[in-house]
Structure 1
């Protein structure tokens, strides 16, 4: 018999309780706030913040020709770009944590779940503040303006900040997010199902963030490690518990509810398919984020034209042609990360019995390839090179 209560499923209740209490005990919010407040770019501008392979344009002709000082900046810009994407994702997470909590609070004995989500939302706000504080300071110091960072935004914008989109797609995505927020706030199954999508998205982050956090953990003098590296570690520790929450809710708590209706299964699978669309691309410029590189051209062009590289218009465009239209170590690494993500998503969905075959097999994501990537870049670069560009 399925009961709409967690307290009658003590094994699940205990998992939630342990995850929640341990997250409270290890909460890195204060350390995160102190670190971001203490950050001064001048103090760590001459050192790496991540493992070397997690540098912007790593393994591309830009990286191969870069001087040691340029490589340090590319390493730091990876941090800025990566966590600017995480900011966008966490803004959406805060909102959907709350709508999902509203959908679950109507169930008996679900207060513990809601308290757990409240803690996570508080942590997300600290993460966002830290990432934005550091990233903005770095970009102003290097370029005098923002490139990857952006003004605060709401949860209904495109989560991927460099996506294959247009005005119509953006409007449609916004409408879908509004609708899901309304539905999940009054539907316990869809509230739980959100954490299936969140779990997949967090799983991708976990693959990369574990490696980023290792830079601090393996630093010979952790107390002297650059503040951004410390923040990568603090963030990873918090997110480990968030991933556990997603897994418990999407794999186990959902079993405490009535079986989903045909409509609920349909909405849930649309969400999973949307996640595949968001994660369809891989980037030669930044390993671990599934950005659509043609949308990224302008940012890369600005970096190449800046005082860091001092390229003129022709040199910058020629270098971009080499980086994006030819195979490179950087492209291969990003493609491998993409394949690893597909494999991990498929394992994650093994326990989701309502998932469509296209989602269980991640068929949409798996259909992308390096030849397809290169063909897309060649067409997009031809268009980019014909446009008037600005420094």
Structure 2
């Protein structure tokens, strides 16, 4: 059960207020914390997850049909009613599996940044809110995973798990390297014994650069990161979820040191957390509308739809905190140095490039170009018992869906434009950011159906050839 000691909260907050004049955002943080603590959305999410039965929810749409895998594509148009229901359910599963991984990352960075704010002092209410959010995320994650696993096993079993398709090509690549590159050189860059010497040197160099450039902020170095270092554990860096798409893990470790050292950079992290909040809201709010429509009509509300509804209610508090820190609280601290401006600009730039720079016609809400991994997923889905296609049939349908204009691309563009507006609303207010980041220029340029088709033609040609080579 999520609990809070309100008496202690009031006592500590009173102590905080006596130490410095209270900026307006302090009041907003206090109000958000108290409202979040009094809400019961987390408990409802937990209970819904514990009680979920796929059999009791399998004959209902969990959202409007457009939030379905392959919606608007030739494959979807030819699908049966039961297949369309399954595609609607699998979209929910995929979306919330991604959300679960991203929320696990959020929990880590809540601890990284709260360590900085505690070192600064006078932000205890904010830190308690971040601790409370971390506890809430653990309930969210377990519910998403429980519903997702039961649903996926009921629809496709284990047929689309794993990534064995590329196993042979990776082995061929390693064999080619072994024949051409001397073993000592291979071991330096790609050690079979674990972390390579090159990776160790690279990570140590990047860490030294960060700590040198932020040496005047070392008194704020997060206790969470200090504890990891004392245990000999590495700096955290996600490999999955939204964080994992931003860049290689060594860059994320580099960024983490900044977020865990400088008060300004700790605030800048919350513009990144808001990005995750906005992506979630963009895809989750349609579930909320659908929930309210069913409720108004007095119709059955599927459990996953209700989970989405209560989750957005919970996340509204988290989004408020992200916006408050990102837009207002960073002004509490000295203006960022040229180095801090550069790093914060770089972080948002690579996020635009790697996470928000494209458009999908087969997965509504995805703002990045369709890649071989997504094509592999759909290939396995079409060959699963849900569709039961042979190789040539699956590839023919995929080519029509990935490489020809259809309704799915226009639905994807609608969600892209909605997310772009949310992003511009925040980043246009951050005066320290680069112009291309304030305007979300890379993301805006990626909202093009013609560019998406051009990219997909090239990617699908390589993918289909890889599949045929594997099966020849």
TM-score of the pair, normalised by structure 2: 0.75
Matches within 5 A, 1:163-312: 173-220=248-295, 224-277=300-353, 278-294=355-371, 295-312=373-390
CA pair 317-161 structure 1, distance change in 2 beyond 3 A:
farther
Structure-1 residue corresponding to 2:238:
156
Are the equivalent residues in 1 in contact too, given 2:36–2:314 (CA < 8 A)? Answer: yes
Q: Distance in 1 between matches of 2:342 and 2:271?
A: 14
CA pair 242-161 structure 1, distance change in 2 beyond 3 A:
closer
Q: CA deviation at 1:162?
A: 9.7
- Of residues 314, 323, 335, the one that matches 2:401 is 323
Are the equivalent residues in 2 in contact too, given 1:23–1:238 (CA < 8 A)? Answer: yes
CA pair 289-87 structure 1, distance change in 2 beyond 3 A:
farther
From the CA coordinates, give the structure whose radius of gyration is larger.
2
Runs of at least 5 residues in structure 1 that lack an aligned partner in the other structure: 164-169
Structure-2 residue corresponding to 1:109:
122
Runs of at least 5 residues in structure 2 that lack an aligned partner in the other structure: 1-15, 164-235
- Of residues 135, 150, 153, the one that matches 1:137 is 150
- Of residues 349, 371, 380, the one that matches 2:459 is 380
Are the equivalent residues in 2 in contact too, given 1:200–1:345 (CA < 8 A)? Answer: yes
The answer to whether residue 28 in structure 2 is matched with residue 15 in structure 1 is yes
Q: CA deviation at 1:15?
A: 0.5
Which shifted more, 136-145 or 69-78? 136-145
Give deviations 1:289-347, integer Å, cap 9, x for gaps: 33542220111111111121122111111100010001111111112221222232122
Q: Distance in 2 between matches of 1:249 and 1:115?
A: 14
**Other structure's SS at 2:389 match:** coil
The answer to whether residue 144 in structure 2 is matched with residue 126 in structure 1 is no
Are the equivalent residues in 1 in contact too, given 2:160–2:384 (CA < 8 A)? Answer: no
Which shifted more, 180-189 or 220-229? 220-229
Give deviations 1:113-164, integer Å, cap 9, x for gaps: 11111111111111111111111111112222174799xxx7521434996x
Which shifted more, 38-47 or 179-188? 179-188
Count of aligned positions: 378
Q: CA deviation at 1:183?
A: 2.1
Are the equivalent residues in 2 in contact too, given 1:135–1:149 (CA < 8 A)? Answer: no
Q: Distance in 2 between matches of 1:384 and 1:372?
A: 18
Are the equivalent residues in 1 in contact too, given 2:359–2:413 (CA < 8 A)? Answer: yes
Q: Distance in 2 between matches of 1:289 and 1:86?
A: 13
Q: Distance in 2 between matches of 1:12 and 1:94?
A: 22
Are the equivalent residues in 2 in contact too, given 1:216–1:229 (CA < 8 A)? Answer: yes
Q: Distance in 1 between matches of 2:459 and 2:243?
A: 18
Superposition CA RMSD, Å: 2.4
Are the equivalent residues in 2 in contact too, given 1:286–1:334 (CA < 8 A)? Answer: yes
Structure-2 residue corresponding to 1:166:
none
Q: CA deviation at 1:388?
A: 3.0
Q: Distance in 2 between matches of 1:214 and 1:110?
A: 36
